[in-house]
Structure 1
Amino acid sequence: METLFVSREARLKRRENTLAIVFNGKTKWFPVEKIRHIVLLSESNMNSSLLCLCGANSVRISVFDYYGYFKGAFEPVGQNPSGRVKLEQARTILDAREKMLIAKEIVLGAAHNILANLLYYRYRGKKELDTQIKEMRRLMSHIDKADDTATLMGVEGNLRQLYYSGWKLIDPKLDFGKRIRRPPNNPVNCLISFMNQLVYTVVRHETFKTHLDETLSFLHSPGTGRSSLSLDLSEPFKPVLADMLIFRMARKGMMHENWFQEHDGVCLLTETGRRHVAEQFSVRLEEMSDGRSYRERIYREALKIERHILGVAEYESYKRKA
């Protein structure tokens, strides 16, 4: 078990060299050497003894707030720092041409995967998607023409707007109107925001296994308090991990009213909703795609960036089969 999602109010404690999680007075035991990432999705308590255990075993703890947003993490001491990689990463970002090559490939991967999602349903009889598919293909030709990241992200934003307009054609339950993020205003917007945060958290964890610096990014502007490189690498994976899972849950009638609480135009996941979504996401993360799990593909994506900046091989983003 690489990642443990804790979706209920809990107390985490240490008993010798074992991790214990207490839910409603009941204790579950986990061998800490088999866990590398704990994601706390609800209010939880722990002490420094538990943190020392996690630090000694290279276990990261990611924390989400009440609204379903990643807010911070306990980070174990870096295991494999590399000054050379950081210098080459910085050099690549300062070279406008090299930076744009990687940024364009990231957007191309994201664009390919959202188009592949619509094609998946078009091949299964949803002919109404032809308009979105045709226009998205036209817009994708603008990616290579972009001169800067602002223009590139503008193209990506237009592609996503077209993509989201096709959701209601896949299933009426996916008709969520306008994309509203902070805070989401309906169940589908809520699921998109929450799952995108889960993707970001997992991408961040997998990127830490490489020598890359999380603050040095190619598409998103480096900022304070966030891993902008993980925002970059999340783009090709949000369509296949988050969006396809939302489609699956909607079409199979898996979403229930008790998953959500709505008031004053704000929609949030309940504890029940977080638990079910986290369970489905953890299964999706380990599903195999061409012989590798999506988790492994995320890790390999980060390695491909590292190999590119070291001049070993040109970066090619992950693109699912359409």
Structure 2
Amino acid sequence: MKQTKYLMNPGRLSRQDNTLKFTPVDEAGNEGQPRFLPIEQVSDLYIFGSLDANSALYNFLGKEGIAVHFFDYYEHYTGSFMPREYLLAGKMQVEQTKHYVSAKKRIIIARAFVEGAATNILRVLKYYDNRKDNCLSESIATVEQLLASVHTASDVPTLMGIEGNIRQTYYGCFDAILGETFCLDGRSKRPPQNELNAMISLGNMLCYAACLSMIYHTQLNPTISFLHEPGARRYSLALDMAEIFKPILIDRLIFRMVNKRQLQPSDFRMEVGGCVMKESARKRFLQAFDESLKETIKHRSLGRSVSYKHLIKLECYKLQKHLLGIDTYKPFKAWW
């Protein structure tokens, strides 16, 4: 079974026959013990250390359909190597473009993305509200009011404003959910200014990369989006899709790890550029994220257990059906 592989250390990645060979290299240039990754076991690669590779390797990865996602020193997503889109279809490309160009068609899909994200945010808030003596009830009421206004938003900028207010209200609840261990003190990015912001930034980028990988395995074009504005050098449809899954995949993961004391203030360090998660903590976070993607739930419509990773792909399939006029797109909403 193919799996995501995370390369944390700097080193050299090369092809050896039909196997990937990773040789770690320390700061002094000394090589460590090579690790071999059978190509048939790799679905995609997440690179967190400095990587030395050549075009022959990327040709090999491209032929095998393996995406490579890169993160910098501060765990910011910096870009991806994506193989040639082997499933792109002309009809889907035309329909996806039509739905973006038409303001009437675009707003329907954009509303669905915000509706899915807000509903999943409410699911998380209500869960912790029950555990925190109803201290989140006022914020829940605010999010519910904002969610009700999603369907009357006439354009995407208005919708993005509503989504921003929902997020602001939601992030305002993090301190109450996590207690005194960590404090958000407002959302800060590039670089994150404290430990909790560092966790959120890393988690959101992991969710974005996971959505991008799943989009690649469908006929959708990742550069044509509906909520976020398509732009140069970014796969904006993955940003749209990630909005739905961040509350379930990332925020729940952060709350669980902090409340179980799997992440402590000592797992971070402050630098001139911002707050950085130490390597040992980053490995624990990545392992927990990977386990979350593999976790399964009983799907109501399919009647069988599916992983969270497969849920993302199913979301892409639902969007495809909407674009082709087969079925109306309804966003994924957690029911547990």
TM-score norm. by structure 1 comes to: 0.96
Q: Percent identity?
A: 34
How far apart are 1:257 and its partner, in Å? 4.3
What is the match of residue 209 of structure 1?
Answer: 217
Counterpart secondary structure, 2:136: helix
What is the match of residue 303 of structure 1?
Answer: 317
What is the match of residue 29 of structure 2?
Answer: none
How far apart are 1:174 and its partner, in Å? 4.2
What is the match of residue 141 of structure 2?
Answer: 134
How far apart are 1:63 and its partner, in Å? 1.2
What is the match of residue 61 of structure 1?
Answer: 68
* Matching of residues 234-313 of structure 1 within 5 Å: 234-264=242-272, 266-290=274-298, 291-313=305-327
One-letter code aligned to 1:34: Q
- Structure 1 unaligned blocks of 5 or more: none
How far apart are 1:138 and its partner, in Å? 1.4
2:207 and 2:249 in contact (8 A); partners too:
yes
- Structure 2 unaligned blocks of 5 or more: 26-31, 299-304
Matched, 1:81 2:88: yes
TM-score norm. by structure 2 comes to: 0.92
Matched, 1:161 2:162: no
One-letter code aligned to 2:138: T
Counterpart secondary structure, 2:150: coil
How far apart are 1:146 and its partner, in Å? 0.6
1:41 and 1:274 in contact (8 A); partners too:
no
- 1:95 aligned to which of 99, 102, 106: 102
What is the match of residue 11 of structure 2?
Answer: 10
2:132 and 2:177 in contact (8 A); partners too:
no
Alpha-carbon distance in 2 for matches of 1:151, 1:57? 42
Q: Which has the higher contact order (CA 8 A, sep 6+)?
A: 1
1:126 and 1:169 in contact (8 A); partners too:
no
Q: RMSD over aligned Cα, in angstroms? A: 1.5
1:8 and 1:271 in contact (8 A); partners too:
no
The one-character-per-residue Cα deviations of 1:142-201 (angstroms, maximum 9, x if unpaired) are 111111111111111111111111111112124311111121100000110111011111
How far apart are 1:125 and its partner, in Å? 4.2
Alpha-carbon distance in 2 for matches of 1:161, 1:182? 18
1:8 and 1:275 in contact (8 A); partners too:
no
What is the match of residue 301 of structure 2?
Answer: none
One-letter code aligned to 2:279: E
How far apart are 1:230 and its partner, in Å? 0.7
What is the match of residue 156 of structure 2?
Answer: 149
1:117 and 1:239 in contact (8 A); partners too:
yes
2:88 and 2:221 in contact (8 A); partners too:
no
2:20 and 2:36 in contact (8 A); partners too:
yes
How far apart are 1:233 and its partner, in Å? 0.6
How far apart are 1:258 and its partner, in Å? 5.0
Counterpart secondary structure, 2:70: strand
Alpha-carbon distance in 1 for matches of 2:34, 2:121? 42
Alpha-carbon distance in 1 for matches of 2:273, 2:89? 47
What is the match of residue 320 of structure 1?
Answer: 334
One-letter code aligned to 2:104: R
